[in-house]
Structure 1
């Protein structure tokens, strides 16, 4: 998955229509004149900009995989598992914030070739961004609960 998603993402930016790419940046299809289309450099730069949040999310997923590998080994209440879960939450939150910024930058890149006065700067906060931040916060709280469990487990080992 960590390799397949970036490959699929890159392929999408190569084959997607201009209207589909504009929609990713909260722009209507009409912002590009009907006689024009996105230049290859716009697709490349737009794709790189929009790939940053995906990269941040994939780093988080890697930490989650390492955390769940510890869980599978029965190492639930450990400092490393807690730290990995917190890192996952942090990277997911960074990806959500990065997606907000990437959309803004991509809107400028995708309309750069428009005549002056017809370029756009689109700022959009969607429910997906809010939900992702909420999810990251929830996972962070779960990591805190596991951390408390770790402290109790260490305290109990001290009594035995």
Structure 2
């Protein structure tokens, strides 16, 4: 498992000390916690979109043969009602979410098979682009962690930024492709005229590709700068 703490062999570049390092460390620590929060919200969003639905947990406990009295008491408890209202979608809300998530028309959304098996299929294919996004957030946390130790303009941070660039660009490609696969999978049992085979590339997807290219160019400049700094340090 990779460590947040950089090593002398990998951190080639500038290391800050003193008050500038302390200010950067405070900001980087806050940034790391913010990225942890974003990662958690992404997981909750993906899971809440596909897996839970109204009365799903009660149906699951019924199939597991919990006593009717326990299920009845749980279904009326404030904690359960709060969790259900926060993390579950009604069928109507789910259909509205699919309009935005899969870039479909309301008529096309009505063709989707929303049984639990196909929800699991949608969940699996949604994980593909979102795991790329979560991996890029992990690289960003590593960069901020090295900031807390004073390592700012370094070769390792530049290489991690290059990885983020590739992951962001890959997300821009993988998201519309996964949406197309999900739409086809959820309509595969329909008549041919109600099957969805389209691939929709939106403006945000193109912008993500451009952002990935920009970050790659920035990381290339950082790599060269870190190598020049290291060469200059070797002559001192």
TM-score (norm 2): 0.61
Deviations 1:55-88 (A, max 9, x none): 1110011011101222332212322111111111
CA contact (8 A) 2:169 2:212 kept: yes
Q: Is 1:155 equivalent to 2:155 in the alignment?
A: no
Q: Please list, as runs of the form range in 1=range in 2, the aligned pairs for 1:1-160 lying within 5 A after superposition.
A: 1=37, 2-13=39-50, 14=52, 15=89, 16-33=93-110, 38-160=114-236
Residue 151 to residue 117, structure 1, CA distance change in 2 (3 Å) = same
Residue 62 to residue 33, structure 1, CA distance change in 2 (3 Å) = closer
Residue 32 to residue 85, structure 1, CA distance change in 2 (3 Å) = closer
For structure 2, the 5+ residue unaligned runs are: 1-36, 53-88
How far residue 110 of structure 1 moved from its aligned partner, in angstroms, is 2.2
How far residue 32 of structure 1 moved from its aligned partner, in angstroms, is 4.9
Separation of aligned partners in 2, 1:33 and 1:77: 52
For structure 1, the 5+ residue unaligned runs are: none
Aligned equivalent of 2:19: none
Separation of aligned partners in 1, 2:159 and 2:166: 10
Relative contact order (alpha carbons < 8 A, sep ≥ 6): 1 or 2 greater? 2
How far residue 33 of structure 1 moved from its aligned partner, in angstroms, is 4.9
Deviations 1:81-101 (A, max 9, x none): 111111111111111111121
- Structure index of larger Rg: 2
Separation of aligned partners in 2, 1:140 and 1:56: 16
DSSP 3-state at the match of 1:140: helix
